[in-house]
């Protein structure tokens, strides 16, 4: 299955959620910039807030492999696919590099955050939290960050939604969340951009500005 754009895919996903979640106690949490385009269609149709959980991926040098991701709280969540032995080996071998990358990643996040940029946990507490991606690949670092972030928040339910996902991602989601809605599952996942005809994304600065305004409006409401 291919989609015209992330917004069109978001509208399709929203149709699957309307019956159960429209006007209910929900919050949409986008896991990346592309997911904001998917998520805003869902939030608009369900009449709920949309937020973005900023994170920065940190790669293992020379291996093209994600070590994990740093959230906007400054906490590093290690790739859940690693065994304890693999994690400890990478930390031992690349400790200095990883610490420097964590510092740089946190600086990049802080440069982007406005006064309302931190996800408001009060707006997630006791709600059904809908985690939105524009494509769940085998690397679920962004999902891991979100689940780690939500450990300190009492939620009614955690629902994962995405237009497309890999088979390995589906296996992980079955364990990690209460419910999921995926439009298409791929045996051979080709990378998220492959599944959209239009891959134009707003700048990260414009995305942050949009999210800040949405959160501010809901706080005032």
Per-residue pLDDT tens for 182-220?
Answer: 999 999 999 999 999 999 999 888 888 888 788 777 876
> Is the four-CA dihedral 29, 35, 37, 42 of positive or negative sign?
negative
Closest CA to 157 of 24, 23, 11, 10: 24
Please tell me the pTM assigned to this model.
0.87
High-pLDDT (> 90) share of the chain, %: 63
pLDDT for position 24: 85
In angstroms, how far is the first alpha carbon of the chain from the final one?
38
H or E, element range at 66:
strand 65-71
Say which residue, 62 or 131, is predicted with more confidence: 131
As a CATH number, domain 6-54+116-220 is 3.40.50.2020
Q: Where in the chain is the domain with CATH 3.40.50.2020?
A: 6-54+116-220
Cα–Cα distance list, 54 to 69, 114, 199 (Å): 10, 12, 20
Least confident of 22-26, 110-114, 168-172: 110-114
Indicate the average pLDDT of the chain.
Answer: 90
pLDDT tens-digit profile of 120-169?
888 999 999 999 999 999 988 889 999 999 998 999 999 999 999 999 99
Q: Return d(Cα 111, Cα 173) in angstroms, integer.
A: 32
Within 13 A of 183's CA, how many CA atoms are on the CB side?
A: 23
Pairing relationship of beta strands 76-78 and 65-71 according to DSSP bridges: antiparallel
């Amino acid at each position: 299955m291919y989609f015209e754009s992330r917004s069109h895919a978001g509208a399709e996903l929203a149709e699957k959620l309307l019956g159960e979640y429209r006007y209910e106690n929900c919050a949409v949490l986008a896991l990346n910039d592309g997911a904001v385009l998917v998520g805003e269609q869902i939030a608009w149709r369900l009449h709920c807030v949309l937020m973005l959980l900023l994170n920065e991926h940190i790669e293992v040098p020379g291996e093209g492999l994600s070590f994990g991701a740093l959230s906007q709280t400054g906490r590093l969540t290690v790739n859940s696919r690693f065994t304890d032995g693999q994690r400890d080996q990478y930390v031992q071998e690349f400790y200095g590099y990883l610490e420097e990358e964590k510092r740089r990643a946190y600086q990049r996040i802080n440069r982007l955050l406005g006064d309302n940029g931190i996800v408001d946990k009060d707006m997630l507490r006791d709600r059904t939290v809908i985690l939105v991606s524009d494509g769940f690949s085998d690397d679920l670092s962004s999902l891991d960050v979100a689940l780690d972030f939500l450990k300190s928040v009492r939620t009614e339910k955690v629902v994962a939604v995405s237009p497309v996902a890999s088979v390995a991602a589906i296996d992980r989601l079955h364990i990690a969340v209460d419910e999921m809605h995926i439009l298409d599952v791929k045996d051979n996942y080709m990378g998220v951009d492959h599944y959209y005809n239009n891959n134009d994304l707003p700048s990260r600065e414009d995305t942050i500005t949009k999210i800040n305004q949405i959160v501010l409006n809901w706080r005032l409401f």
